[in-house]
């Protein structure tokens, strides 16, 4: 799957589940659960023990599943993730060496940014999306809306504080996609292997994004 295809799929799906758990087994269960529920994408953070092996296994198991690497803080880790089968790279902040590596290797890159200066710097560097993280502490959807006024051309992904009550507002504010962690993958649901719980949450978030986009198109 080429970079433009991955970028298009992220835009289409509108949700990036963030997998930040305490074991490889939980990470695999989380990613497979959201995939079964109709969200064929997951970001495996480097804080997960054995994260790169998890990425490799997910990439082997399903060629259509878009597995990405999160919390990538250096080019060497980025290389290992890419070799394992990662289709996109993200970080909580703007890390120039990771951005440069991704662009050089033609892989989707989603750096984290917060201030307008960081967003502009990331966009001018040639990134695919800019992740606004953490969103909630700085104003949530209103902050996304404020950024989109002077920067309408920059596709923003809202991350940090996205839940069932706020998700639609982030879409209305102009977010291209939503990064969702524990609100989609509750710790208890993972620990008890309650995949039906995760499936229901995935369906809810998917419906929220779909309906919000439909309302925007309808004016």
Q: What's the CA gap between 182 and 84, in Å, rounded?
A: 25
Q: What's the CA gap between 40 and 66, in Å, rounded?
A: 6
pTM value is 0.96
- Active-site choice (32, 76, 131, 192): 131
Does the active-site annotation cover 43? yes
Does the active-site annotation cover 131? yes
The domain limits of the chain are 3-214
- Active-site choice (2, 5, 32, 43): 43
Strand partners, 146: none
**The predicted structure's pLDDT at residue 219:** 80
> Which parts of the chain have pLDDT scores under 70?
none
Contacts 24+ apart (CB under 8 A), 148-152: 148/173, 148/174, 150/116, 151/116, 151/119, 151/120, 151/123
Domain 3-214: give its CATH superfamily: Aldolase class I (3.20.20.70)
**The predicted structure's pLDDT at residue 123:** 97
Closest CA to 166 of 195, 145, 197: 145
Q: What's the CA gap between 68 and 88, in Å, rounded?
A: 5
Crossing angle of helices 51-61/75-84, nearest 10°? 30
Q: What's the CA gap between 168 and 149, in Å, rounded?
A: 18
pLDDT digits (tens, 9 = 90+) for 62-96: 999 999 999 999 999 999 999 999 999 999 999 99
């Amino acid at each position: 799957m080429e970079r433009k295809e991955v970028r298009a799929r992220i835009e289409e799906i509108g949700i990036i589940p963030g997998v930040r758990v305490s074991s490889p087994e939980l990470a695999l269960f989380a990613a497979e659960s959201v995939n079964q529920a109709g969200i064929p994408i997951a970001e495996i953070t480097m804080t997960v023990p054995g994260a790169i092996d998890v990425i490799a296994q997910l990439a082997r198991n399903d060629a259509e599943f878009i597995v990405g690497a999160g919390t990538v803080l250096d080019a060497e880790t980025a290389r290992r993730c890419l070799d394992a089968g990662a289709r996109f790279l993200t970080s909580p902040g703007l890390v120039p060496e990771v951005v440069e590596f991704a662009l050089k290797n033609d892989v989707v890159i989603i750096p984290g940014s917060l201030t307008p200066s960081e967003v502009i710097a990331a966009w001018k560097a040639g990134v695919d999306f800019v992740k606004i993280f953490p969103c909630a502490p700085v104003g949530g959807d209103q902050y996304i809306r404020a950024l989109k006024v002077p920067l309408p051309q920059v596709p923003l992904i809202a991350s940090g504080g996205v839940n069932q009550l706020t998700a639609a507002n982030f879409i209305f504010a102009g977010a291209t996609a939503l990064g969702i962690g524990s609100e989609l993958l509750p710790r208890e649901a993972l620990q008890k292997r309650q995949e039906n719980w995760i499936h229901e949450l995935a369906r809810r978030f998917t419906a929220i994004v779909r309906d919000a986009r439909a309302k925007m198109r309808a004016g």
